Amino acid sequence: MQKIYWDLLKKNHEESKRRRIETLFESDESRFRKFSLKIEDLYFDYSKTNIDPITLSNLIKFAENSEIMKNVDAMFNGDKINVTENRSVLHTALRNFQTRNFNNLDLINKKLQVRFKSISNFCNHIRSGKKKSCSGDYFTDVVNIGIGGSELGPKLVTSALSEYHDGPKIHFVSNIDSSDINKIVKKLDPRKTLFVVSSKSFTTIETIYNAKTAIEWVCSKLGSDGMKHFVAVCASKEKALDLGVFEENIFEFEEWVGGRFSVWGPIGLPVMLAIGLNQFSEFLEGASQIDYHFKNEEASKNLPITLALIGFWHSTICNYPSRAILPYETKLQYLPTYLQQLDMESNGKSVNLKGESISYPTAPVIWGQIGTNSQHAFFQFLHQSNQIIPCEFLLGANCIDDGYYEKHHLQLIINCLAQSEALMLGIKKEETFERQRNLHHYCHGNRPSTILVYKQLTPKILGKLLALFEHRTFVEGLLWNVNSFDQWGVELGKKLATKLTEHFNKKNQKQNFSNSTLNLLYEIRKLKNNG
């Protein structure tokens, strides 16, 4: 049955090649209304894509025949849909256990209640100063040590909600490159600094190296009491205890929370410390509202499913190799990077759920930058290169800063809409000649874009946006028939790094590395030794 819709969509794509996007508005003056969705304080406009009514109908039937809703229910109910790791996928439970118990997971929800109360108390005590440092000082600075999903979510949310900060200053260390931790600790006072070591596995080499360096930095100045300045967030308590973290400072989460889906739980501790539990609960509530919408709305009015169908259409049917994420909001500067992990680590795969090789394109390359800066970086490419890149704009209707800046915000809105218009209309060849210009001024146009407008960047709306993107990723994975919740591809590089370390330390010279790697290592050692 799926093949029927797949073939129909391929036929729709062939037809779309013979028309320009703007002609779709000429044939239907209500196109804007039909190709947009309003969900409370979110407005999604996908009218500037080359999707006509027949294509949209086929996309929706394709979704309905992909048993999307059956799989959505399976996820919320805790079925082990992460089939290669035999795990449930229940990051949704982290934001629903307080308000909407629609997954009927009573035992899990009770455990989450207890854990949330514990981490909330810890957070409140740090913020109020009831829990002070070993030298009796307030904790004025918090350093999160973590990488991938143990950094990207907290870093994005902390940055996006900077207007709501009323707690300690939050810093992030992730790379094993020592400049990451060095640039932070050299400006901080160990007596007033709390370290949150965030790692689901608690084996990630970057995080363990940075944690041990931080421990040396603190305890060399404060003695062994300095370990009171360390918190661990993990799914493996024993490893945190082995590092020397006190048990009362260890906050656990379950294996059924994927790293890139983990900001809603204890991994979100830096956010809780920055904005407090009331605002963090607003963040969870926004996500919970999208969960409810996703679980109950029919496909044609379902925002995550619509986003996923458009993504599938552009990546797999139209064969566009990448997707540009363009938030016209500086506070969302880390969103493209966050979505790189969410989408490319979830769906950058070529084997289906049955273990068979896949020949069609799955996840696109995800990249992007805030607007209007991106207009001065790569919009030349978007308008005049021979590659078509679907653009996904995000835009706040209101700026979170006070009213004085309204004139700035109006220009932000105008620039976003103007770019979306320019991508569609371009400058026709005959126009360039009429204007006594040459073909160097020609802009292809006919380039698809969507615009997701939100009322303004509050904790609740940010929670909605991130839950929306998570569910879009999940649905795209269903359409591509891949497991969006494992990441076996990251293991090989880690294993080779371990072997190369043994080789470098002359512990095992029999490792079979390529001639180039071994010779380059030799040349690097020479450069190191010569200084």
Structure tokens at 32: 């804007």
| Interface stretch with ligand F6P, choices 146-154, 272-280, 324-332, 441-449 (CB under 6 A) | 146-154
Q: How far is the CB of 433 from ligand F6P (least distance, A)?
A: 52
Q: Which of 11, 117, 301, 376 is the catalytic position? A: 376
- Of the residues 38, 183, 408, 494, only one is catalytic, namely 494
Taking the complex as a whole, how short is the minimal distance between the CB of residue 481 and ligand F6P, in angstroms? 21
Q: DSSP character for 27? A: S
- Measured CA to CA, the distance from residue 325 to residue 335 in angstroms comes to 8
115 binds ligand F6P (CB under 6 A): no
> Cα–Cα distance between 98 and 329 in angstroms, integer?
31
Among 49, 52, 105, 148, binds ligand F6P (CB under 6 A): 148
State which residue, 105 or 342, has the beta carbon closest to ligand F6P: 342
> Smallest distance from the beta carbon of 199 to ligand F6P, in angstroms?
3
d(CA 346, CA 340): 9
The catalytic position among 151, 206, 282, 345 is: 345
Contact range with ligand F6P by CB under 6 A, out of 148-156, 180-188, 362-370, 392-400: 148-156
- Binding marks (x or -) toward ligand F6P, 30..69, rule CB under 6 A? ----------------------------------------
- Asked if residue 326 lies in contact with residue 370, where contact means CB atoms within 8 angstroms, the answer is yes
Alpha helices in 175-302 (DSSP H): 178-185, 205-222, 237-243, 269-296
> Min. distance of Cβ 305 from ligand F6P in angstroms?
25
Determine how many CB atoms are found less than 10 A away from the CB of residue 122. 19
List the one residue from 55, 92, 144, 150 that touches ligand F6P (CB under 6 A).
150
CB of 492 to ligand F6P, least distance (A): 12
Shorter beta-carbon distance to ligand F6P: residue 249 or 262: 262
Residue 487 binds ligand F6P, judged by CB under 6 A: yes
Residues in the chain: 531
* Least Å from the CB of residue 260 to ligand F6P: 6
Q: Which of residues 205-224 bind ligand F6P (CB under 6 A)?
A: 207
CB 149 within 8 Å of CB 341: yes
Element containing residue 367 per DSSP (H, E): strand 365-368
Q: Shortest Cβ distance from residue 94 to ligand F6P (Å)?
A: 15
Residues 325-384 contacting ligand F6P, CB under 6 A? 345
Quick check: 82 and 485 in contact, CB under 8 A? Answer: yes
Tell the smallest beta-carbon distance from residue 85 to ligand F6P (Å): 12
What are the residues whose beta carbons fall under 8 Å from the beta carbon of 433, sequence distance 6 or more? none
The 3-class secondary structure across 242-257, one letter per residue, is: HHCCCHHHEEECCCCC
Task: Say if residues 133 and 228 touch (Cβ distance below 8 Å).
Answer: yes
Q: Rounded to whole angstroms, how far apart are CA atoms 44 and 61?
A: 20
494 catalytic? Reply is yes
Instruction: Sketch the per residue contact string, 243 through 262, with ligand F6P: x for CB under 6 A, - otherwise.
Output: ----------------xx--
Counting contacts by CB under 6 A, is residue 483 touching ligand F6P? no
Q: Which residue in this structure is represented by tokens 């308590």?
A: 237
Instruction: Report the residue number, 257 or 332, with the smaller CB distance to ligand F6P.
Output: 257
Q: How far apart are CA 388 and CA 417, in angstroms?
A: 19
The three-state secondary structure class of 197 is strand
**Alpha-carbon distance 46 to 63, whole Å?**
17
Of 56, 75, 112, 147, which lies in the binding site for ligand F6P, with binding defined by CB under 6 A?
147
Q: State the minimum distance, in angstroms, from the CB of residue 318 to ligand F6P.
A: 29
Residues of this chain, 169-208, that bind ligand F6P according to CB under 6 A:
199-201, 204, 207
- By beta-carbon proximity to ligand F6P, the closer residue of 111 and 239 is 239
Q: Among residues 154 and 371, whose Cβ is nearest to ligand F6P?
A: 154
Query: Residue 330: which of 366, 380, 369, 376 has the closest Cα?
Result: 369
Residue 135 or 201: the one with the smaller Cβ distance to ligand F6P is 201
* Residue 358: CA count within 13 A, CB half-sphere: 20
Helix (H) or strand (E) holding 171: strand 169-173
For 138, list phi and psi in degrees, rounded to 5: -70, 150
- Looking at the Cβ atoms of 46 and 261, the one nearer to ligand F6P is 261
Positions marked active-site: 345, 376, 494
Contact positions toward ligand F6P, by CB under 6 A? 147-150, 199-201, 204, 207, 259-260, 345, 487, 490
